[in-house]
Amino acid sequence: MQRQNADAQRFQADYFVPLLLWLGALLAVRIAALVAARIDLVLDEAQYWTWSRELALGYFSKPPMIAWLVRGATEICGNGEACVRAASPVLYTVTAILIYAAARQLYSERIAFWSAIVFATLPGVSYSSMLITTDVPLVLFWSLALYAWIMLVKGGEMRFAVLLGVAVGLGLLSKQAMIYFVLCATCHAIFSRDAREALRGGRGIVAAAIALAFAAPMLIWNAQHDFVTFQHTATNIGWKFPYVHPLALLDYVVVQFGVFGPILMAVYLRTAFRAFREKQSDDKILLLTFSLPVLALLLIQSLLSRAHGNWTAVAYPAATTLATAVMIELGRLLLFRISLALHLAVAALIAIAPAFAPQLPSFERLQFLSRVVGWRGVADTVRTKLAEDHYGSILVDSREMAAELLYYLRDNPTPLYVWLYDPKPTNQYELTRAMNQDAADPVLFVTQRKCPSQVLSSFAEVERLGSVDVPMVKDKSRAIFFCRLAKYQAPQ
């Protein structure tokens, strides 16, 4: 018996140590890519950084975890772009290890090893590792919850119910999409007697109570702020007449093949299709119920309105394990190697391209480049204007301009305010930095809209200062307009 245990431990180490080496090397490459990258913080990243300067239990559009995460990273290594994003590749590495741990309970060590490697090299993960987004902690805690669920179903121990509650609670503090876990667990309970048994004996109640306890501060913050996060989510869903958008549906499907990888998606869909015709193993049913409901729900969402490609992120820990297991069990090793090679090539491209972003031409399909470069130049232009007249405050009229200037002018003490085009705030800046009588004169108005008359009419003194074209990518620039304003008169 002792010899068998020693052999089992050595067998596990034969895969776990190489896994750590693979993931460690991948992490080192991604950290180096972040340091070498010449892309500015995108809107959401800059926004999360500003949130991290004012820690709270909730924010207008997202739960607080992302702000806490960014604050922790910047406290360790500074406020540069690489440091703001550094938590992303680190947490994805931890997530891959959790996927290994979960897959090991369902399949062999070999399949668990490759499931972790495949997940870490998914095109969507490679792309997301270069940014800091709410998906990063969400997928981490989803994977932890999936591991806890598998252990709970396999053994029924109360400690895994506790772990499940903690993971779901932390996931809810990361992004609202964690609620999909309840949907997936319900679907699994419908098809699996073991899943139903796992929730009995008070285990389901304990998990739910702990999850709610972790999420309670965020819920209380929302109650104190008219549930703005939930209102934002409802607005983001955006169901509208005629409720059928075939092009949005097609775009969603194509993006999912790109995010997950075309070969993996084809294998996964074939496996899901066969599950409707043939009886599948309990382990495959588990993985399908923790991926297919999310994909199907967002397929419907994309048809009714739209669905961003990253909204399905939580489906891919289980989907990756399932597709990997199917290819290895069926001996489709050539197909598996081609898929992995394709993902590694994409990962290399994603790691290298940001270092050359300013030199890349703005092709029609690369319009995202216009959102990730040039903001440092905008801030330098604003800094020059501030020095010319010693302005008392800055006024902007968009969330993007507010987020980028707050980050790239973080060394400048001039207070920044945001113009409200509608009486009701539509973002965190309008909620906390709305233009008011406290703004000191003169006010430097910075905008991309040629100083709209709706704003100018609220000031007794107005002077147009012209515009500056700030270079972005090789053949494109961003026009920034300036106006000098004074004697603000609040709209009646």
Q: What is the pLDDT of residues 147-203, one digit of tens each?
A: 999 999 999 899 999 999 999 999 999 999 999 999 999 999 999 999 999 999 999
Which pLDDT score, from 0 to 100, does residue 235 have? 67
- 341 and 441 co-located in one domain: no
pLDDT value of residue 12? 52
In angstroms, rounded to a whole number, what is the distance separating the alpha carbons of residues 342 and 348?
10
DSSP state of 139: H
Q: Is position 317 within any domain? A: no
Identify whether residues 346 and 396 lie together within a single domain: no
DSSP state of 41: P
If you average pLDDT over every residue of the chain, what do you get? 90
Looking at the domain assignment, is residue 296 inside a domain? no
> Residue 307: inside a domain, yes or no?
no
CA distances (Å), origin 101, targets 66, 112, 292, 392: 25, 7, 21, 56
Task: Identify whether the C-beta of residue 343 lies closer than 8 Å to the C-beta of residue 122.
Answer: yes
What's the pLDDT band for 250 if we cut at 50, 70, 90?
confident
110 and 328 Cβ atoms separated by less than 8 Å: yes
What is the C-alpha separation between 347 and 344, in angstroms, rounded? 5
CB 320, CB 115: distance < 8 Å: yes
Domain count, the chain: 2
How would you label 405-427 residue by residue, b for 16+ Cβ within 10 Å and e otherwise? Answer: bbbbbeebebebbbbbeeeebbb
Q: Does one domain contain both 196 and 160? A: yes
| 251 domain-assigned | no
User: Is 220 within the bounds of a domain?
Assistant: yes
Is pLDDT above 70 for 298? yes
SS3 283: helix
Whether 49 and 146 share a structural domain = yes
Task: Judge if 192 and 112 occupy the same domain.
Answer: yes
Is 385 part of any domain? yes
**What is the rounded average pLDDT of the residues 270-299?**
92
Regarding whether 195 and 95 lie in a shared domain, the answer is yes
Check whether residue 234 and residue 128 sit in a common domain. Answer: yes
Owner of token pair 């729900």? 297
pLDDT (tens digit per residue) in 19-61: 999 999 999 999 999 999 988 999 999 999 999 999 999 998 8
- Quote the CA–CA distance of 18 and 24 in Å, as a whole number: 10
115 within a domain of the structure (yes/no): yes
Domain match, 87 and 175 both: yes
| Same domain as 171, residue 34 | yes
What pLDDT does 285 receive?
Answer: 95
The helix/strand/coil state of 227 is coil
DSSP string, 365-406: GGTTHHHHSSHHHHHHHHHHHHHHHT-SEEEESSHHHHHHHH
In angstroms, how far is the first alpha carbon of the chain from the final one? 83
Identify the CA nearest to 260 among candidates 304, 297, 311: 311
**Residues 335 and 471 reside in one and the same domain:** no
Considering the domain architecture, whether residues 340 and 483 belong to the same structural domain is answered as: no
pLDDT value for 61: 86
HSE-up of 140 (CA within 13 Å, CB side)? 22
CA distance 453 to 213: 49
Judged against a pLDDT cut of 90, whether residue 259 lies above it is answered with yes
pLDDT bucket at 8, cuts 50 / 70 / 90: very low
Asked if the structure places residue 144 within a domain, the reply is yes
What CA–CA distance (Å, rounded) separates 417 from 445? Answer: 10
Max alpha carbon distance in the chain (Å)?
A: 88
Number of C-beta neighbours around residue 164 at 10 A: 29
Instruction: Assess whether 93 and 183 both reside in one domain.
Output: yes
DSSP codes, 304-332: HS---GGGGGGGHHHHHHHHHHHHHHTT-
355: pLDDT confidence band, cut at 50, 70 and 90? confident
Strand partners, 446: 396, 482
Instruction: Read off φ and ψ for residue 385, nearest 5 degrees.
Output: -65, -40
Domain extent at residue 165: 2-241+330-355
Of the chain, the percentage scoring pLDDT greater than 90 comes to 74
* Per-residue pLDDT at 433: 93
- Tell me which range, 9-23, 79-93, 265-279, is most confidently predicted by mean pLDDT: 79-93
